Structure 1
Amino acid sequence: MVNPLLFPEYADAIRALDLAAIGSPAALPERFLLAHEGRFSVHYIPFEYVNPAARIVVVGIAPGFVQWKNAMAETQRRMAAGAAQDEVLRAARLAGAFSGAIRPNFVALLDAIGVQRWLGIASCASLFDHDAHLVQISAILRHPVFVDGRNYSGTPGMAKLPFLREQVLRYFAHEAAQLPDALYIPMGGSVAEGLDWLAREGVIRRERILHGLPHPSGANAERVAYFLGRKERAALSSRTNARQIDAARATLLAQMAALSES
């Protein structure tokens, strides 16, 4: 699991980027291509910062094109200001993390199952403020993956493809090895499947994965509202499986109770 820091190799190229001229994944400079196979391509992003004190790891699927541009812009700003390498990498990884409506939903979901009590804080809202040292914002595929020039969305499943499995093991598994006692929160079903695969591989302990939280995006508002008790079961649309959400909530509450007692 050798995972050398790549940033020094890319710093000059990032500094020289004309981001205004890059309007799509197809326009990404060849210099940033890390790997490719068939329809898949992987491009470097300066997301190598690992918070050694993190007790919560929020795991997305992969940075997309917009996040690539935002991270590169933040990196350019920090380098121009003369920031140290660690600060540059930390700022790049946090650029735009959980902005907008997704953040209050996410905080409410974590508080609803008792993550704040396990952490010993009043609310998980402070994870984005003065308790930011307790969280690692991550992605199971650290670097952007594009399929036919579009953001990889989880299909086909990464655990089924040797090319993507190698990316997970090369980067995310190395990160997870530094945070063995953290809780892992998958953001979406494909990420959950990937974390389960890593648990079978012995990279992460299965009891440290918090399965079943609804994705906190605005598009998932009804499931979030029902999980939080803000919407009655009788008022749900046919698209929302109340029984599944009830079961997930009960399992998560029991899991957090067990973790708090251990």
Structure 2
Amino acid sequence: MDATLIKGIQELNIDAYSNGDRISQLVLWEEGALRADYAPFDYVEQKAEIVIVGLTPGRSQASNALRKFQQEIIAGSSLEAALKAAKVFASFSGAMRSSLVSMLDEIGIPSVYGRRSSEQFFVPNSGLAHFTSALRYPVYFKNQNYSGNPSPLRTPVLRRMVDRYLAAEVKALPNAVWIPLGRHAEEALAYLVEKGELNHSHVLSGMPHPSGANSERIAYFLGRKEKSLLSAKTNPEKIEFAKTALVQKVELLRNARQT
């Protein structure tokens, strides 16, 4: 990270960025209607046991990270400390984290590491959970949050972000368990598995995304809602199949660590 970019962020009008302004010094590349901006999501938790993978940071998350980084640099923090603080501050929390913890507990992830609850992965400053994205830096389509269209892996400029940044994080955390949130994150990790860069046994795909929009699927996954009460939009067989596969994979991980 060069001094020019650091100085630019120090002087950045983050409210303007948050409101949708294009800030030229943050632009990494533009291609057609797609654009990627820099935001401080570089820090990697080197001792992380689990890695949570989303699609790409949204504008709100990017703005929060930029604001925290700006505050830390102005206060005199080192570059590494500022990057870490920004990453931690912008990582997801609240109801989404609560749902994720419940689902990880449901499939037995804590037992792989001899822990009682997945809450322990998210204890502040423990470094046990790393948060990242298939596309590390915020991507916009027509200046709006990118939601996966056009396809990340079928769009060369986006696929290069997976090859450059996500692959580097996979290499840095070879023993971690990778938990993708959503189809595009699952596909990005499957792509790296296919390339031989990530161990398939370390990828836990298939959990419902822990967003509020998936509350019914999450409730069924956790056994909190009866099949007979599900709406037509929820496919119980798909959830059951995914959960069974996840439990089996977690058991294999646990056995592998005990041998």
Taking structure 2 as the reference length, the TM-score comes to 0.95
Matches within 5 A, 1:1-262: 6=1, 8-25=3-20, 27-129=21-123, 132-262=126-256
Q: CA deviation at 1:63?
A: 0.7
C-alpha separation in 1, matches of 2:2 and 2:236: 46
Runs of 4+ in structure 1 deviating by more than 3 angstroms, as ranges, are none
Q: Which amino acid aligns with 2:17?
A: I
Q: How much is the aligned-residue C-alpha RMSD, in angstroms?
A: 1.4
For the residue of structure 1 that corresponds to 2:64, the secondary structure is: helix
C-alpha separation in 2, matches of 1:236 and 1:7: 53
Q: CA deviation at 1:22?
A: 2.9
Percent identical residues: 37
For the residue of structure 2 that corresponds to 1:146, the secondary structure is: strand
Q: What does the per-residue CA deviation read over 1:175-224, in whole Å, with 9 as the maximum and x for residues that have no partner?
A: 11111111111110111111111111122111211011111111100000
Equivalent pairs counted in the alignment come to 256
Structure 2 vs 1, CA of residues 23 and 257 (structure 1 numbering), >3 Å: closer, same or farther?
A: closer
Taking structure 1 as the reference length, the TM-score comes to 0.94
Gaps of 5+ in 1: 1-5
Q: Which amino acid aligns with 2:29?
A: A
C-alpha separation in 2, matches of 1:23 and 1:74: 13
Q: Which amino acid aligns with 1:16?
A: E
Q: What does the per-residue CA deviation read over 1:115-174, in whole Å, with 9 as the maximum and x for residues that have no partner?
A: 111122111112221573111111110111111111111122211111111111111111
Gaps of 5+ in 2: none
Please say if residues 108 and 250 of structure 2, whose CA atoms lie closer than 8 Å, have aligned partners that are also in contact: yes
Structure 2 vs 1, CA of residues 81 and 209 (structure 1 numbering), >3 Å: closer, same or farther?
A: same
